[in-house]
Structure formats: structure tokens, C-alpha cells
Amino acid sequence: MIAVPSSSAPRPSWPFSTRDVCERTPEAGPVEVVVVGAGVAGLVAARGLTDAGHTVIVLDKGRRVGGRLSTRVFANGGRADAGAQFFTVRSDEFARAVASWQETDLVHEWCRGFSSNDGHPRYAVRGGMSQLATALAGGLDVTCSVRVEQIRVGGDRVIVTWPEAHGHGAGRVDADAVIVTVPVPQASVLLGSDVVVPPISYLPTLSLMVALDRDVDISPSGGLQLVEDPVLSFVGDNHAKGTSASSVITFHSTSDFAASRLDDPISSISDSLLRATRPYLSGASVVETQLQRWRYATPVEVFPERMFATEGGRILLAGDAFGGPKVEGAFLSGMAAADQINRGR
């Protein structure tokens, strides 16, 4: 028996649309690797391990997979990317993956620069960035709405535990190895003081998404990178990008603004950001707004290797703090973590 239910809570319903690990039966076989976090890094790691024949489960505290690949849906059906707006490609490994996603029309080239054509493609995902995560999660054993609380080494196993929440019981699962892809300060809390993790800090971002009654002209491509605005750093038109059927604009704050307002009430942050967006709305009426706080948006330091193995190699850390602070970096880090375990097979 690998996963031990520690509560007799009733069978959870949605958002447990995927398998409920609390109910894993002995017949399901022992878990070899637990991946904590279903963002790009976690999903790519799980994919690489599953393809190599390992038994892997992925746990995420969110209601859906994707992490910082997040797409919000509005009452009028509009869609907006809340976190990453696009991605670029530098490495051969990522280029191969992106080419395969383009072949199936999951990914398309949005533009080659915002104020001018710099020749470097910016890629977007049909239906929003979260769709890439959904595609990566296909066929994997992923459970959402499980907020892992503790990761501890016990003998030759690593034990992962989570408390009761969202209608599911507390639980634990043990495995040969655990890949932790949550932002490093959060990983540090899960691992406790026995495990020393690299000291990596993050900058926050606030994301205000604004549904409008009509299209506005942001730029030829629909994106604007702002360098001198004290409040806003990026403007992205989800309609122009091809993500939304109607007009929804994503505004990202500067990290300074986010740091000063991160814990304020939503209405207060939204009001301040909305005032800053006015010059970009060309008088269009706001139909709905949604706000997303990203406490760990961008790692300030990037670890010099693509993943970090703790002493004994049973716990690996991966994510954009290891591969580089972008979608591509998270992808490469997830691959590196899977390779590390696959090599030891």
C-alpha cells in the first residue's frame, strides 16, 4: 500500500475531476515519483518520467493545472491570459517542442516584437496559455486542489502529506523521489529546516484583466511593453492575440507597484490599476474586471543549473528559478529533473 488515506472524508466531487490520490488502491502499484506543482516544469517532468515508464503522480494546490500559465474566463465568454502572455524560443530542445505544438495548431506565432519587428517570434497558445498546460497534462495522473503541506525523507522513501481541504480528506503518499516545482520560498517551507535550498527571491506582479464593450487599438500586434510607466509594465490585447473572441486587455503592473500594494484589498488594487489603464482604453466601456496577484511572478536570481538535487538525490527542485525565468526555462528545468531520475534507472 503506497498512499495511505488518513481521513474518512466523503468522496470529493469537482474539482476532483482527475484521479483522487487519497483513494489509490494497492493494485495501482507503488508511486515512484511525486511531482509537486502542475505548472510547465512539473508537467514536463512528469511527462518525461511517465514516458520512461515510471509511475508518477502530480499534485497541485490550484483548481486547474498551469500555475503561472493561467487563462481567466469572463461572463461574456471573453478570455485573458493572467500570467505569461507569450513565450520565446532559444534552445533546440524547446524549439523541437514548440514546432510539434505548432503542427497541431496548439501554438501559433503571435508577432515578432511589439514596438518594432525584432525578428524573434513571440508564440501564443490557442484559447490561452492555460491550454498548453492542459495539453501537457493529458494522460498524466494529476490531482488538483491538493495543497501539499510537508515533504519529509523517511528511510528510503520520501513522504508527502497534505491537510483536509476543499471537501477532500487529509492524505499522504510516499515515493522513491519527489520533484518540487513550486516557487523556491514555498518549497523551503514544505521541506522544513533540514533541507537547505538555494536562496532565491521573487518579484511580484499584479495582473488586471479588463473586458471591454469594443476593440481598442493597443499596437499593430496588440502588445505593448512599457518601460517608464510607474504602475504598468505590459499591455496585452487578448483579442488581437487570438486568445479571446471579444475584447479583453491584460495589464501587468510593475514589480514596484505590486510590492507596495500586494496585500491590499482587491477592490482598492483594481481601482488604482484601472485608473492607470485609462489612456489605453480609448473611451471603451469596461464590462468586467478580474485581478490576479502573483506573489512569486519572477525569480530574481536564477540557479546556475537546470535543477537542484538535495543531499541523497531523493528530492529535486525544478522550475523557472533553475532553467531561467520564463516558460522556456521552466520547460528545460522540468526536462532536466526528469532526465536526472531517468538516468538513475
Ligand X SMILES: Cc1cc2nc3c(=O)[nH]c(=O)nc-3n(C[C@H](O)[C@H](O)[C@H](O)COP(=O)(O)OP(=O)(O)OC[C@H]3O[C@@H](n4cnc5c(N)ncnc54)[C@H](O)[C@@H]3O)c2cc1C
Q: Could you say whether residue 195 binds ligand X (CB under 6 A)? A: no
Regarding 181 and contact with ligand X (CB under 6 A), the answer is: yes
CB of 107 to ligand X, least distance (A): 12
Candidate residues 202, 222, 326, 341; the one interacting with ligand X per rule CB under 6 A: 326
186 CB burial (10 A radius; 0-12, 13-18, 19+): middle
Q: Which is nearer to ligand X, 178 or 211 (CB)?
A: 178
**Residue from the set 182, 209, 281, 315 that interacts with ligand X by CB under 6 A:** 182
> Any bridge partners for residue 34, and if so which?
57, 178
Does 128 bind ligand X (CB under 6 A)? Our answer is: no
Please pick, from the candidates 186, 219, 270, 272, the single residue that binds ligand X as defined by CB under 6 A: 186
Task: Identify which range of 1-9, 24-32, 101-109, 322-330 contacts ligand X by CB under 6 A.
Answer: 322-330
Please identify, using beta-carbon distances, which residue of 156 and 194 lies nearer to ligand X: 194
Number of residues that bind ligand X (CB under 6 A): 38
Torsion angle (degrees, nearest 10) of CA 132, 134, 139, 142 = 130
Cell of 64: 486547474
38 binds ligand X (CB under 6 A): yes
Q: Does 294 bind ligand X (CB under 6 A)?
A: yes
Q: Which range in 3-11, 23-31, 183-191, 239-247 contacts ligand X by CB under 6 A?
A: 183-191
Between residue 230 and residue 289, which ones bind ligand X under the rule CB under 6 A? 252
Instruction: Give the dihedral sign, CA 58/59/65/68.
Output: negative
148 binds ligand X per the rule CB under 6 A: yes
CA 178, CA 312: separation in Å to the nearest integer?
Answer: 12
Strands in 77-217 per DSSP E: 79-81, 107-111, 122-125, 142-143, 150-154, 157-162, 171-175, 177-180, 202-212
Quick one: 181 or 310, whose CB is closer to ligand X? 181
Question: Is residue 180 at the binding interface for ligand X, with CB under 6 A as the rule?
Answer: no
Determine which residue in the list 24, 47, 68, 241 makes contact with ligand X, applying CB under 6 A: 68
Does 107 contact ligand X by CB under 6 A? no
Instruction: Report if residue 158 touches ligand X, rule: CB under 6 A.
Output: no
DSSP 135-153: HHHTTS-EE-S----EEEE
Per CB under 6 A, the segment of 1-9, 33-41, 270-278, 307-315 that binds ligand X is 33-41
Region from 55-63, 109-117, 170-178, 301-309 binding ligand X, contact rule CB under 6 A: 55-63
Separation between Cα atoms, residue 83 and residue 247, nearest integer Å: 18
The values of phi and psi at residue 126, to 5°, are -60, 125
* Structure-block grid coordinates of residue 123: 508564440
Bond preceding residue 220 cis, omega within 30 of 0: no
Contacts of 27 (CB under 8 A, 6+ apart): none
The least distance separating ligand X from the CB of residue 13, rounded to whole angstroms, comes to 20
Residue 148: φ, ψ to 5°: -60, 140
**Interaxial angle between packed helices 40-51 and 327-343, expressed in degrees from 0 to 180 and rounded to the nearest 10:** 30
Per CB under 6 A, residues contacting ligand X are: 36-42, 59-62, 67-69, 83-87, 147-148, 181-183, 186, 190, 205, 207, 252, 294, 297, 319-320, 325-327, 329-330
